[in-house]
């Protein structure tokens, strides 16, 4: 099995940076805030902001995963995405937050494959959900749209993604709605996992895609930690149970880290420290098949 670094410090909420600002005629902040609450969450636990932030920094971005899929030669498969026609189904904050994450991953996928017609439909759905959750005001759609239109601006787009999600997380934290951050994160990750695991099944000779599925074992541990804060809530407990079932399937997968001392190389006259350590992902085609089935079933419950 090929060796590689497991984690990339990228924020997974590319969806959110593509939201439009709230439209004119916006409700008062107090009214919008009150209407955005789920009564079941009013007395929920408070997770320290640094805990959520440290976990987010370890999760790969759906935008990064979509770019990897395209580079691997995987075809654009719109049938793998959640249909914008499902938007009217999402009438609770729980469903809205989860599917805001889902649609965000879908939008990032359409952007990477330059399918602007499909992207416009996802943008409309995302704008609607974000405004319903009273977080649409964080985004400058004109700037983000300009960056998203040019693949050379990927680093800038990821930077803005990070900044905006940090702002959202802090805002939700102050209002004791940090559970929405967890739901946005979970929805986006599950959708990305569904796409990449399906692609890995379709191209069993592609070791990189199999390894991408395998390395998510570490991410699931983090998501279980976050969801565990809300185990007394019926909706969140359901997500937690799904994640625990998925984690059981990952027990067969081994992630082996091999340490090697770093070296210094001179590149264009500049000394650069080279990390020679590596990670081996040990995963079989049967592992991918079982994981894909569990992820697909979880995803169906989220978007249904």
pLDDT in tens, 198-230: 999 999 899 989 999 999 998 899 899 889 989
Residue with tokens 């359409």: 110
The distance of Cα 19 from the centroid of its chain, to the nearest Å, equals 15
Residue 246 domain-assigned?
Answer: yes
Task: Give the number of domains in the chain.
Answer: 1
159 falls within a domain: yes
- Band the pLDDT of 154: cuts 50, 70, 90: low
- For residue 194, being part of any structural domain is answered with yes
Mean pLDDT computed over 250-263? 90
Structural contact between residues 281 and 215, judged by C-beta atoms closer than 8 angstroms: yes
Is 260 among the domain residues?
Answer: no
- Percent of the chain surpassing pLDDT 90: 33
Q: Quick one: tokens of 21?
A: 């600002």
Distance CA 197, CA 154 (A): 24
Q: Report pLDDT digits (tens) over 104-124.
A: 888 888 877 878 788 778 877
pLDDT of residue 152: 54
Q: What average pLDDT does range 8-20 have in this prediction?
A: 34
With beta carbons less than 8 A apart as the criterion, state whether 268 and 173 touch.
Answer: no
Residue 204 lies in a domain: yes
- What confidence tier does 169 reach under pLDDT thresholds 50, 70, 90? low
What pLDDT band is residue 141 in, cutting at 50, 70 and 90?
Answer: low
For 74-77, which contacts have Cβ atoms below 8 Å and span 24 or more sequence positions? 74/199, 74/202, 74/203, 74/209, 76/113, 76/115, 77/195, 77/198, 77/199
Section 31-58 average pLDDT: 54
**Looking at the predicted structure, is the pLDDT value of residue 159 above 60?**
no
Owning domain of residue 202: 3-253+285-303
Helical spans, DSSP H, in the chain: 29-35, 49-56, 62-71, 93-112, 116-132, 141-148, 154-174, 178-202, 207-214, 216-228, 234-250, 285-303
Note whether residue 57 is domain-resident: yes
In a domain, 106, yes or no: yes
146 found inside a domain: yes
Tell me the average pLDDT across 168-196: 83
* Residue 36: Cβ within 10 Å count: 20
């Amino acid at each position: 099995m090929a060796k590689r670094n497991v984690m990339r410090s990228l924020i997974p909420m590319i969806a959110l940076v593509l939201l439009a600002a709230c439209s004119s005629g916006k409700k008062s902040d107090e009214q919008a805030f009150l209407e955005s609450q789920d009564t079941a969450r009013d007395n929920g636990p408070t997770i320290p902001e640094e805990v959520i932030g440290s976990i987010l920094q370890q999760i790969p971005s759906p935008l990064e995963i979509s770019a990897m899929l395209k580079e691997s030669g995987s075809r654009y498969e719109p049938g793998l995405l959640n249909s914008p026609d499902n938007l009217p189904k999402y009438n609770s904050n729980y469903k809205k937050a989860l599917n805001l994450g889902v649609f965000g991953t879908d939008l990032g996928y359409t952007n990477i494959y330059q399918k602007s017609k499909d992207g416009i439909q996802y943008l409309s759905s995302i704008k609607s959900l974000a405004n319903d959750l009273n977080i649409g005001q964080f985004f400058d759609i004109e700037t983000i749209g300009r960056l998203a239109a040019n693949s050379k601006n990927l680093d800038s787009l990821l930077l803005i993604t990070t900044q905006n999600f940090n702002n959202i997380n802090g805002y939700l934290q102050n209002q004791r709605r940090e559970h929405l951050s967890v739901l946005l994160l979970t929805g986006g990750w599950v959708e990305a996992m569904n796409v990449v695991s399906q692609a890995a099944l379709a191209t069993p000779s592609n070791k990189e895609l199999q390894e991408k599925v395998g390395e998510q074992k570490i991410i699931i541990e983090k998501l279980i930690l976050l969801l565990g804060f809300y185990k007394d809530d019926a909706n969140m407990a359901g997500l937690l149970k799904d994640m625990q079932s998925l984690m059981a399937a990952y027990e067969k997968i081994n992630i082996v880290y091999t340490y090697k001392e770093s070296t210094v190389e001179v590149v264009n006259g500049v000394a650069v420290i080279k990390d020679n350590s590596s990670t081996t992902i040990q995963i079989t085609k049967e592992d991918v098949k079982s994981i894909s089935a569990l992820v697909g079933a979880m995803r169906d419950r989220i978007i249904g």
